[in-house]
Amino acid sequence: MQIHTPDWVKHAIFYQIFPDRFAQANLQPPVGLAPLALEAWDSPPTLQGYKGGNLWGVLEKLDYLQDLGITALYFTPIFQSAANHRYHTQDYYQVDPLLGGDEAFFRLLDAVHNRGMKLMLDGVFNHTGRGFFGFHDIVENGSHSPWLDWFKLEGWPISPYDGERPANYQGWAGNRALPELNHANPAVREYIMRVAEYWIRRGIDGWRLDVPFCITEAGFWEEFRQRVKAINPEAYLVGEVWTNQRPWLDGSRFDGVLNYIFAGATIAFVGGERVDVAQLEDRDYEATPAIDALTYGEKIQLLLHAHPWEIQLTQLNLLASHDTARLLSMTGEPETSKLATLLLLTFPGAPSIYYGDEMGLPGQLDPDSRRSFPAEADWDLEMLRCHKALINLRRTRMSLRVGEYRFLGEDHKTYVFARIYEGDVLIVAVNAADDYGKIDLDAVGRRLGTQPSQMLFRTREFSPERDAAGQESRDPVQVIWTADNLFLALPPRTGILLG
C-alpha cells in the first residue's frame, strides 16, 4: 500500500495548548456580562477549578507564538464540558462558552490560517461526559430512554454520581464520570464520523485522537481516516498511542502517534539518575532506568526502523504533555531540558512543545503540570533563547526536517549523529555525563563527504578557560578535525550543533 502523509506536518513546529491555562482575555456577552468564580491565575492548579484561560487570549498571543517560531497549534479539548481539561465532552458541536464559544474559535481559526499556521483539535470519541445529551437522557428517564444502546449499560439503576453504589455501566478506566460509548452501534459510529467531518469542513487541519486503542470495533479507524481524508487529504491524524506503535502506523489509520517512545528514551538518556521516578507513576513510557549513549542509540535505531520513512516524518515528537510531569520537574535542573530540547528539535518528525516549557515552567504530575502560563518576569530567558535558536535552525535547514538521520558514534554518555539533506550536513553531539565527554570519530569526514566545524548552536555558553598566567587558553568545547577524523570534547551536560 502506498502511504501518503501530510507534507506540511514534516515542516511543522507544534505547540500544545491547555486552553484554561495559557492565556486570558475578556469574554464577550453573554458570558462576559457578569464576574465568573475563577481561581487566581498564579495560584496552584486544582483538579476541578478553572483559571479562565480562553481562545480570545490565544488570539492575543499569536504574535508571541510566531516570534517563537511556532507553525501549528494543538489544543487539548475545547468542546463544551464540565471539566477544566474538557475531556468530559457534553456537546461535540459546541465550543465551550468559557473558552469564548464558537465566535472566539472561528475568529482564532481565521487568524491562524491568515498567518500561514495550522490548527489541530483533540477528539475524545471513546467516551463522553455525563452531560452528553444521550447519557443525560438515560439519567433522567432510566430504562425508558431511547438512547440506551448508545452506552455500555450493565444493570439498573445506574449510579452516575453516588460512588457508594455500582455504576452499572462502563466508564473509561472505571471512571463513572466518563461513560463509554457503544461503538458497535452503527448510529454511534456514524455520529462520531459526522462530528469529525463537520470540524474538518469548518477548517481545522487535523485531529489528535484520544485513547484510540480503546475503540476496538473492526474497521472503525480505517473508516475514520477515509472519511476525513475524503474532505481534506492533507488533514493530520495523530493517535495517543504510548506503546506498540507499529499496528497504528501502516498507513491505514494514522499519520503518526504521540511519540512517547522517543520521549522516554531521551529522558532516560539525558536525565539519567536525576529522574524522579515518582513523576513517572502510572505513565507508560520508559523514562527510567538511566541509560548510556550506546543504549540510547540502539533505542533510536529501533524506533527509526519501526515505520516507513513517510510515517516517521509525521510522528508527533514530544518531551512532555498534559498527561506527564514537566521535564524540568522530573530532573530538577534546566540543563537536562536543554539537552532534551536539542535532541527533540533535531529528530525526524514534527516536534511538539508543551506550553510554558520554552521558558522553564515547572510542574509535577497533574494537576500541577497544568499550571498557568507565567508572567514575563518569571521566564527563564536562557531556556527561551535555547528554544528560539533551535526552532530557527530547524525552520531554516531542510536537513533537520526531512534529512537522513545517521548515527556517527558514542562513548559512555556522549552521543553523536548527523542530519543530511542534499549536501547540507549537520552534526549533533550531546554529552549527558557529569564529567567531560571525549570521543574520536574515525573517517567521519570521508563518510559524510564534508567536515562541518562551524558552531551553530550550543546548549550553554562558557567563559574561556584560562592558563596559569590568567590568559585565555581555549574554548572548553573542542572540535578538532585531523584529516578525516573528528575529535570532540564536550564539558559536562553540554550539547552542540555543527554545520
> Looking up cell 535505531, which residue turns up?
301
Q: Which of 20, 210, 323, 357 is catalytic?
A: 210
| Domain membership flag for residue 306 | yes
pLDDT at 299: 97
User: Nine-digit cell at 170?
Assistant: 462502563
| Domain membership flag for residue 143 | no
- Average pLDDT over every residue of 304-318: 97
| Domain membership flag for residue 144 | no
Q: If you average pLDDT over every residue of the chain, what do you get?
A: 96
From CA 212, how far away is CA 199, in angstroms rounded? 19
Q: Is the pLDDT of residue 469 over 60?
A: no
pLDDT at 192: 98
From CA 338, how far away is CA 341, in angstroms rounded? 5
Secondary structure (DSSP) of 188-236 = HHHHHHHHHHHHHHTT--EEEESSGGG--STTHHHHHHHHHHHH-TT-E
Which of 11-20, 89-98, 453-462 has the lowest average pLDDT? 453-462
From CA 336, how far away is CA 408, in angstroms rounded? 22
Q: Do 260 and 301 fall within a single domain?
A: yes
| Domain membership flag for residue 148 | no
Each residue's pLDDT tens digit, 347-364: 999 999 999 999 999 999
Classify the phi-psi angles of 337: left when phi > 0, otherwise alpha if psi is within -120 to 50, otherwise beta.
Answer: alpha
pLDDT at 468: 53
From CA 117, how far away is CA 36, in angstroms rounded? 32
Each residue's pLDDT tens digit, 407-456: 999 999 999 999 999 999 999 999 999 999 999 999 999 999 999 999 99
Active site residue 382: no
Q: Do 379 and 291 fall within a single domain?
A: yes
Domain that residue 239 falls in = 7-126+183-396
Q: Do 290 and 425 fall within a single domain?
A: no
Where does a domain end: 366, 396, 426? 396
**pLDDT over 90 for what percent of the chain?**
93
From CA 330, how far away is CA 354, in angstroms rounded? 15
Three-class SS state of 329: helix
pLDDT at 80: 98
Three-class SS state of 148: helix
Where does a domain end: 396, 425, 441? 396
Q: Is the pLDDT of residue 467 over 80?
A: no
Each residue's pLDDT tens digit, 215-270: 999 999 999 999 999 999 999 999 999 999 999 999 999 999 999 999 999 999 99
pLDDT at 41: 97
Give the other-Cβ count within 10 Å of 143's Cβ.
Answer: 10
Residue 319 and residue 271 in contact, taking contact as beta carbons nearer than 8 Å: no
pLDDT at 282: 83
Peptide bond into 186 cis (omega under 30): no
Active site residue 335: no
From CA 459, how far away is CA 441, in angstroms rounded? 21
Secondary structure (DSSP) of 86-117 = --SEEEEEEE-GGGTHHHHHHHHHHHHHHTT-
pTM above 0.85, yes or no: yes
Split at pLDDT 50, 70, 90, the class of 170 is: very high
Q: How far apart are the first and last CA of the chain?
A: 37
Where does a domain end: 396, 426, 452? 396
Secondary structure (DSSP) of 24-57 = --PPPTTGGGS------TTSPP-SS------HHH
From CA 452, how far away is CA 445, in angstroms rounded? 8
Q: How many helices (H) and strands (E) does the chain have?
A: 15, 20
- Average pLDDT over every residue of 180-209: 98
Q: Do 231 and 275 fall within a single domain?
A: yes
Q: Is the pLDDT of residue 156 over 80?
A: yes
Q: Which of 20, 122, 180, 240 is catalytic?
A: 240
User: Nine-digit cell at 245?
Assistant: 506503535
When divided into structural domains, the chain yields a total of 2
DSSP state of 467: -
Q: Which of 481, 317, 286, 302 is nearest to 400 (CA)?
A: 317
**pLDDT over 70 for what percent of the chain?**
98
Q: Do 389 and 443 fall within a single domain?
A: no
Q: Do 429 and 353 fall within a single domain?
A: no
- Average pLDDT over every residue of 175-200: 98
The dihedral through the CA atoms of 200, 202, 203, 207 has a sign that is: negative
Q: Do 80 and 104 fall within a single domain?
A: yes
pLDDT at 199: 98
| Domain membership flag for residue 378 | yes
Q: Is the pLDDT of residue 470 over 80?
A: no
CATH number (domain holding residue 244): 3.20.20.80
Split at pLDDT 50, 70, 90, the class of 163 is: very high
Each residue's pLDDT tens digit, 105-148: 999 999 999 999 999 999 999 999 999 999 999 999 999 999 99
Q: In what order do the strands lie in the sheet with 437-441?
A: 437-441, 485-490, 478-482
Q: Is the pLDDT of residue 277 over 70?
A: yes
Which of 19-33, 109-123, 310-324, 461-475 has the lowest average pLDDT? 461-475
